[in-house]
Structure 1
Amino acid sequence: MSTTAPRRVTARRARTRRRMLDAALQVFAEEGFGRSTVEQVCERAGFTRGAFYSNFASLDELFLAMWEERSERMLEDLREALAEVTAASPDQALRAALGAIPVDDAWYRVTAEFTAHALRNPSLRRVMAAREQAVLDTVLPVVVATLARLGRRVPEVTALGRALVAVHDGTAVQVLLEPGAEEPRRRREELFLTVLNAYSTPIAEEAP
């Protein structure tokens, strides 16, 4: 009985894929996802259409690969930022977490445009929703564990997750509209802290 071995990812192939992803982010941010073409990405990366299609079936697939990569990096940074949080106060833990989730102008523009594109495509919308939920399912246990180390418990984890996403999405726009201004960032921190306190309660000390 014969089996088909998975396609080996060579160093050269990995470099090609990396250059395609980097070039695509630049093109999408400059041109807009809906106006970008495979040819533009290839020209920016210095490759042919053949090189593109040997790595990605479409621009949609390329974006999803980019999104998954950035999500994994963000989750790793978040875990590292919160791993040592023990005796810190909630606001110190929050600052550590927000430092691991930067508000990026170019990435925000690209994701906003791709989300609008996905909303017009039911199958793509389902893919995006599933991936967003997968990220949230990974982030929430880290947040809940950190709050527990700070002496707080979360009765409704799902509700906390939805509230955190709403604050992140809403305040990111405000921060980007006023680059360099401290007030939007301060309000962002305050809103996150308010949500964390509202959706968690102090862990009662056990009676002697």
Structure 2
Amino acid sequence: MPAPAARVPRRRAETRRRLLDAALAVFAEEGFGRSTVEQVCERAGYTRGAFYSNFASLDELFLAMWERRSAELLDGLRDAFEQAGATDVHDVGDVVRQLLPAIPVDDVWYRVSAEFTTHALRNPALRQLMTARETAIAETLMPFLEDLLTRVGRVVPDPNALGQALIAVHDGTTVQCLMAPDDPGVWQRRTDLAVRVVTAYSEGAPR
């Protein structure tokens, strides 16, 4: 009877998905330290039994939610960068204006990721997870960025350094953008800073 057996993994996957979706909302609203299993279950529409058949603890759920959201972010970046790569660029400013909007400034995710970062600073294993995520983001970003910069006559001597610098620009300006989302000056300064960083970490291609 393969059909009933096939339904069980699908049902389990749906349960996990709903619990992870609920956890993202609850953690963003309440904070991880103040959230409870009951709150996550209530938001997802499940019992504690359903929770513990999928996750041993809120810590495990938090980590699974983080890993899933990071993977979704990277997939979205790849799609956005591929679309940006099909457009015309004439200088570094054009390159930045194509790529920067592809990196989301997400209020809900920022609240959760900021708390995860704080949590990771107290846990060496989670620090490795954070480092791996930043490395994956840089590795996703740099091939597209280098291609666009080549088209405007610039090369990147140290792609890793530029990737890390751009992550720092994003992290450092995200709070300002979230605090004043309707202030065009804040968003323009974010763009201007990124242009300066890309210019500083790249150089004219040899003729």
TM-score range, shorter chain: 0.7 to 0.9
Tell me what 1:22 maps to.
21
Superimposed CA distance per residue, residues 144-185 of structure 1 (whole angstroms, 9 cap, x where no aligned partner): 233223332100112112211111111001111112111110
Q: Which amino acid aligns with 1:54?
A: S
SS in 1 for 2:60: helix
User: How far apart in 2 are the matches of 1:88 and 1:121?
Assistant: 43
Counterparts in 2 of 1:121 and 1:72: CA distance versus 1, 3 Å: closer
In structure 1, the residue matched to 2:62 is 63
Unaligned runs of 5+ residues in structure 2 are 1-5
Residues 1:142 and 1:38: Cα distance change in structure 2 (over 3 Å)? farther
Change (3 A) 1:77 1:196: same
Q: Over aligned residue pairs, what C-alpha RMSD do you find? A: 2.3
More off after superposition, 160-169 vs 78-87: 78-87
Provide the rounded CA distance (Å) in 2 between the counterparts of 1:75 and 1:180: 26
Q: Give the 3-state SS of the residue equivalent to 1:108 in structure 2.
A: helix
Change (3 A) 1:140 1:61: farther
Report Cα offsets for 1:92-129 as digits up to 9, x if no partner: 33223222212111211111112111212222223322
Structure 1, unpaired ranges of 5+: 1-6
Cα pair 2:18 2:44 within 8 Å, conserved: yes
Structure 1: distance between partners of 2:60 and 2:148:
34
Match of 2:170 in 1: 168
**One-letter amino acid of the structure 2 residue matched with residue 35 of structure 1:** R
What is the SS of the residue equivalent to 2:103?
A: coil
User: Are 1:87 and 1:150, in contact at CA under 8 Å, matched by a contact in 2?
Assistant: no
Aligned pairs, number: 199
SS in structure 2 at match of 1:102? coil
- Does residue 196 of the first structure (1) align with residue 198 of the second (2)? yes
Q: Given the alignment, which residue of 119, 132, 135 partners 1:117?
A: 119
Distance 2:8 2:173 in 1: 39
- 1:47, CA displacement in angstroms? 1.0
Task: Tell me which amino acid in the other structure corresponds to 2:185.
Answer: E
Tell me if structure 2 keeps the 8 A contact 1:34–1:117.
Answer: no
TM-score w.r.t. length of structure 1:
0.84
**Larger helix proportion, structure 1 or 2?**
2
User: Does structure 2 conserve the Cα–Cα contact (< 8 Å) formed by 1:118 and 1:125?
Assistant: yes
1:8, distance to aligned residue in structure 2 (A): 9.4
Confirm or deny: 8 A CA contact 1:82 1:93 kept in the other structure.
no
CA-CA distance at 1:67 after TM superposition: 2.7
**What is the distance in 2 between the residues matched to 1:150 and 1:118?**
39
Residue 126 and residue 72 in structure 1: after superposition, are their counterparts in 2 closer, same or farther (change >3 A)? closer
Aligned partners of 2:98, 2:41: CA distance in 1, in Å?
38
